[in-house]
Amino acid sequence: MRGSRYLTVVAAAAAVAGLLVASGWLAPARQRAAATSCRVLQVESRDGQSSDIVRLTLPSGARHLLHHSPFALNAIAYSAAQDVTYGVADGRFHDGWHAVRIDSGGELTDLGAVGRETHHGVWSWVTGATAGAMSGSSWYVKRATSLYTVDVDPHSSGYLTATGPVLLHPWWLASGVDDFAYNPEDGLLYGVSSAAEGAVVTVNPVSGTVAKVPGEQFPAATYGAVVFGPDHKLYATANWIDGRSVTYRMDGGSAVEVSTGPPLVMSDGAGCLAEPPPPPPPPPPPPSSSTPPTTSSSPTTTPSSPSPTPTPSSSASPTPSSTPVPPPHPSSPPSFPPPTTPSPVTPTPTPQPPDAIIQPIPMPQPPAPSRAAPVKGIPKPPEKRTAKARDNVKKQRRWGVAAVLLIVGGGAVAARARRAR
C-alpha cells in the first residue's frame, strides 16, 4: 500500500514538473543561467507627462534610445510567449489609464481601458499603477497597496480584464515599492522599498505579504525600475541620486553601480527580452557570365627548351661526332642526334598518345669539316676518328717545335754575323 502511494506521488510530481516546463515557468531560470547578457526595456520620464523608451543591456549597462512616447508610461512587464511588453499609459483619457503594448522596437499600440470580469470600459482598473511584472499570461499590476492580476492571453475570453485586488501588508512597506520582478523559482515578486531606505523586499501575489530580504540593501532612493539580469541578480534603477539616475546590481549583499543616466521623475523596467534572430547569411555571388575555355585533346606545338622527341626513320644519316651517342633507354623516349644540315629533320610519323606534345628541335651550327673526309655514306668508327685526331695533334706539335728551332737558330746566326763585323 505504501509503495503504491509512493509511486502515485512521484508520478504526480513528474506531471507537475512537465507542466511547469511546458508552460515556461522553469525555462527563464535556465535561460538566465546560460545567457551572458540580456536586453531590458526601460521607460523613463523626466517631466511626468511623456516617456523615453530605452533599451538597457545588462550587465554592461549600455543604453540605447528606441522611441519617445507622448504618454507617461509605467508598470511595464514583458511577455516572453508573445515577445511584447505590456504597460499602462497616462494619456488623460476619459476612462482612466489605458493598457498599451510595446514591441521590441519601442512602437506603441493602445489597447484601451482595463476592466473587471463583471464589467468592461467603465473605468480602467490600472489607473495610477506604478509596478508591473509578468508570470506566463498573468500581468501583476500594483496600484498603491493593492495588487491586481490582468489577463493578457489574446485567445482568452477575459483578455485585458483584471482580478483582485489582493491587499498588501504591511501597507507602509508596500507603499514604497514602485516596481518589482517575478522570480519563477519561488513564485514571489522582488522589489525595492523606499519606505525601508532601499531594502530589497518580496511580495507574495497570493497572500499579499510583503517582507524584507535579510542582508540586501540598496542606497536610499526611489527605485522605479527593477529586473532580474542574465546572472539572476537583481538590478534596480534609482530615479534620483545626486542629480542623476543610477542603475545598481545587487551582488553579495552590496549594491554595485552599473550605469548612470539623466535624473528621472518616474521609471519602470521589464526583461530580459528575447534575443533577436541572427541576420540571414549573404546571398551567394552570381555565376560568372564568361564561358570557361574549352580544353582540346589535339596535339599542339609549344616552343620550349629541347626535350625528348620521337625516333627518326633509318633514312636520316647521323653526323660524325667525337663522342659516341648512347642508345635510348627503353623507359624514356629516344632523341635525335644533331643534324648535319640547317634544316630540321622531319621524323617519320609514328602513333602518338592523344595528349602528346611535339617539341621543335633546336638547330645547332654544323661542325667544321675534318682534313680527311670520310667516305660518303660510310662513317668511320668512333675509335678510328679518335686515333686520327691524336695523330693530327702530334703532327701539329712537331711542326711547332721545328718552327721554334728555326727561329731560334736563325736568330743565333744573325747575332754571330753582327759580332763578326
Contacts of 261 (CB under 8 A, 6+ apart): 44, 54, 63, 237, 244, 245, 246, 247
Judged by phi (left if over 0) then psi (alpha if -120 to 50, else beta), residue 26 lies in: alpha
- The confidence score (pLDDT) of residue 329 equals 47
- The confidence score (pLDDT) of residue 309 equals 45
- The confidence score (pLDDT) of residue 274 equals 84
d(CA 37, CA 32): 9
In the chain, what are the domain boundaries?
Answer: 38-273
Task: Please identify which residue in the block is written with the cell numbers 609514328.
Answer: 350
Amino acid found at 206: V
- The confidence score (pLDDT) of residue 196 equals 95
Task: Please identify which residue in the block is written with the cell numbers 530580459.
Answer: 272
> Could you say which residues of the chain have pLDDT below 70?
1-35, 118-121, 289-421
pLDDT, tens digit, for every residue of 226-272? 999 998 999 999 999 999 999 999 998 899 999 999 999 999 999 89
- The confidence score (pLDDT) of residue 315 equals 41
User: Residue 189 — φ and ψ, nearest 5°?
Assistant: -100, 135
- The confidence score (pLDDT) of residue 386 equals 53
Q: 216, 251 in Cβ contact below 8 A?
A: no
> Which CATH superfamily includes the segment(s) 38-273?
TolB, C-terminal domain (2.120.10.30)
d(CA 197, CA 65): 30
Please measure the distance between the N-terminal and C-terminal CA atoms of the chain and give it in whole angstroms.
Answer: 164
Smallest CA-to-CA distance from 172 within 144, 200, 191, 141 is with: 144
Instruction: Output the CA torsion 185→234→59→244 (10° steps).
Output: 160
